[in-house]
Amino acid sequence: MAFSSISIADAQQKAIHMQYSVSMEKAAEHLYHVSLISTSPGKTLDFKMCTWTPGYYQLIDFAAAVQNFSATDANGTSLKWEKTAPEVWHIENKGKPVHISYDVKAVVPFVGNVYLDESRGYITPGGLFLYLDQELKNPVSVEMKPYSKWNSLVATGLDTIPGKFHTFLADNFDVLYDSPFLMGELEVLPSFEVAQKPHHFIGYKLPEFDRQGFMNDLKKIVETGSSIIGEIPYTHYSFLSIGAGGGGIEHLNSSSLSFSGGEGFNTPEARKKLYNFIAHEYFHHYNVKRIRPIELGPFDYSRENHTNMLWVSEGFTVYYEYLITRRAGIMTPEDFFKDLQQNIKNYENQPGHLYQSATQASYNTWSDGPNGRVNDTFNKTISYYDKGPILGLMLDFNIRNATKNKKSLDDVMRLLYYKYYKKLNRGFTEKEFRQECEAIAGIAMPEIFEYASTVKAPDYPKYFAMGGLKIDTVSTVQYDSWAGLNIRKQGDFLKVASIDYQSPAWYLEIKSGSNLLEVNGIPATPELWYKTLESSTAGDTVKLLVENAGEKKLISLVLQKRKEKTFMISKLNEQNALQKKIYDSWIE
């Protein structure tokens, strides 16, 4: 199955057995109304709702939002149906066309779900459109009827059927489920072209900021990102700004972004963070959507789709977001170093790096989440978003060093794109990925892949030196009065949010979620807690009254100094000829 759109003419030559129509006149009630005409053959049909959506590797109970389900034949005669599983509607249609009607309650304003109110509608298709197993590879059409109080704009990566207003065609359900819709009080920013391909930015309730400056920078990101592979595989691309929030999801020719802009965006740091985020989602149309592990498509929408390689698919994309913004002139070398440094600190300063490998984190993301089990009392997990980019950098430098800077990770990405996506029309296996990396490098690289599949401590100085960099791995005192308690205000209580691994608090009878009632006999407040730490030093004792499960305990906590490795990254003062060559071509 090809992960690329076909032409409208080609799709129209195929039979369309699934035709949807979506209306939203009950926007105030957060209800989408879906009508489906199915002419798929069969005496009985099992219509299913997805249990997850591509790009967000977590199960979501989309079926729970379905209401008022009914099924009739073409004459309006009711057909017998029953739910045979939480996400399956079994219909006895006796070989006749089926007309299905249902509502979807859309109350979750999240990039991986469906949402509707009187100001906007956002559709993650996997949360709205039922499917049949036998129709997954066939074309599907969707008629969209925006809420009557909005303008008629429907933002999506799909193309319309000529002569049919707001009726969109997808080559198959993989393409449909990869093509979100955004409607409502939208604004279209000035578009631009790269390689004669139009790029659009459509936003919901965008506040004041430098629109043209933003689009100029966005064009640089697209030009730089697409130059890595050397080909743009889509005919047009849309950035969909769905509103304030966090997170984004990549698609074949669009991306969904939680973006608000405004005053915060007008600060340099906020802009850099946003540009990294957009570069990440944009480059995903290569790395994940087309350059992909074999497990990531075609998909099984009824269950988790596990892979060991999200450290490549997600982690390398983090590395490339830094490369893209740096090469585009948006990020300075110092910015680049700080971002890499933060990834290493996030990874090294959590206990999970002693227990979970990058491949395990990839496979277990369905249960652990993309950032690991962050709320565990003892977190034995890691985030592939942190270890992945570091492995990407080390692999890049190893290839450059082995080939005297004639090859790089860019060459690996291009080979995977042209060989597996374009020529073989499939993803690659773990074994093939390693083989291609080592073929490009011209040497075996067992250590890099051991770092990915085990918890072996990476030799940062060795690999960073290949690229003309140095990294500080010496432990120094970071805090003179360390307790290891991280707190948060929750209602009337001061809660223990988490406890640092092997900290003074780690060894005491304090648990995450406990209430911190008193500090040295005084009612606890965030201000008191931080003031106590600031005025204390290592060796001082702090008396804490802690409540857990209704039981109160007075605990004596002895503060300590905390030593940490800064992992500060900088350019080597003296580089040999190869180091200088690698550094200059990499950083510029």
CB 131 within 8 A of CB 301: yes
* SS3 (DSSP) at 140: strand
CB 211 within 8 A of CB 150: no
C-alpha–C-alpha distance, residues 291 and 308, integer Å: 15
The fourth-level CATH superfamily of domain 476-565 is PDZ domain (2.30.42.10)
Residues 6+ apart with CB under 8 A from 479: 561, 562
* Listed residue (398, 496, 483) closest to 449, CA to CA: 398
Structure tokens at 464: 């960073």
CA angle at 171 for the pair 100 and 293, rounded to the nearest 5°? 110
Structure confidence at residue 205 (pLDDT): 86
CB 237 within 8 A of CB 221: no
β-bridge pairing 522-523 and 159-160: unpaired
The amino acid that residue 13 corresponds to is: Q
CA angle at 131 for the pair 129 and 134, rounded to the nearest 5°? 160
> How many CB atoms are located within 10 Å of the residue 573 CB?
6
Structure confidence at residue 180 (pLDDT): 98
Structure confidence at residue 4 (pLDDT): 35
C-alpha–C-alpha distance, residues 110 and 216, integer Å: 28
CB 348 within 8 A of CB 563: no
Question: Quick one: CATH architecture of 310-468?
Answer: Orthogonal Bundle (1.10)
CA 418 to chain centre: 24
Q: Right CATH number for 186-283 from 3.40.190.10, 2.30.29.30, 3.40.50.280, 1.10.390.10?
A: 1.10.390.10
C-alpha–C-alpha distance, residues 61 and 121, integer Å: 19
Instruction: For residue 525, report the phi and psi dihedrals to the nearest 5 degrees.
Output: -140, 160
CB neighbour burial string for 426-450, b if at least 16 within 10 angstroms, e if fewer: ebbebebbbebbbebbeeebeebbe
- Helices 211-229 and 315-327 meet at what angle, rounded to 10? 120
Q: Where are the domains of the chain?
A: 8-183, 186-283, 310-468, 476-565
Block means of pLDDT (10 residues each) for the chain, 588 residues, are 41 82 98 98 97 96 98 96 98 96 97 97 98 98 98 96 95 98 97 98 89 95 99 98 89 90 71 94 98 96 98 99 98 97 94 95 94 72 97 99 99 99 98 99 99 98 98 90 91 87 89 92 95 95 93 95 93 98 96
The amino acid that residue 4 corresponds to is: S
* SS3 (DSSP) at 139: coil
Structure confidence at residue 270 (pLDDT): 82
CB 471 within 8 A of CB 340: no
Cis bond leading into 298, ω under 30°? yes
Helix (H) or strand (E) holding 174: helix 173-177
C-alpha–C-alpha distance, residues 34 and 145, integer Å: 10
C-alpha–C-alpha distance, residues 262 and 82, integer Å: 49
Same fold, 8-183 and 476-565: no
> How many CB atoms are located within 10 Å of the residue 50 CB?
24
Structure tokens at 163: 């002569």
C-alpha–C-alpha distance, residues 191 and 458, integer Å: 44
Instruction: For residue 209, report the phi and psi dihedrals to the nearest 5 degrees.
Output: -165, 175
Rg for the chain, CA atoms, rounded: 26
C-alpha–C-alpha distance, residues 300 and 51, integer Å: 9
Structure confidence at residue 190 (pLDDT): 96
The yes/no answer on whether domain 8-183 falls in CATH 2.60.40.3650 is yes
Structure tokens at 526: 């965030």
CB 36 within 8 A of CB 45: no
Q: What dihedral do alpha carbons 269, 226, 206, 213 form, nearest 10°?
A: 60
Structure tokens at 371: 């950032």
